[in-house]
Amino acid sequence: MTEKGREYAIAKRHGDRKTANRLMRELSEASPEDMGAFAAGRDSYNAIPPAYKKPRRRRTT
């Protein structure tokens, strides 16, 4: 379940809603122990800072 938490964090970081929603549907049937492992995997990936910042494209009118 730790791997699924990591996959979820990657999907959220990259804006992949389809994968994030699929993983959350799978998680809705999980036990409390699985939820803890999922959170640990998610938090371990979120602790890694992004490799680069997203560009800020400001529109000027």
In a domain, 58, yes or no: no
What global pTM score does this model have? 0.79
One DSSP character per residue, 49-61 reads PPSSPPP------
Helix, strand or coil for residue 46?
helix
Total tally of structural domains belonging to the chain: 1
Could you report the per-residue pLDDT of 2-47, keeping only the tens digit for each?
999 999 999 999 999 999 999 999 988 889 899 999 999 999 999 9
Provide the 10 A C-beta neighbour count for residue 28: 6
**33: domain range?**
2-46
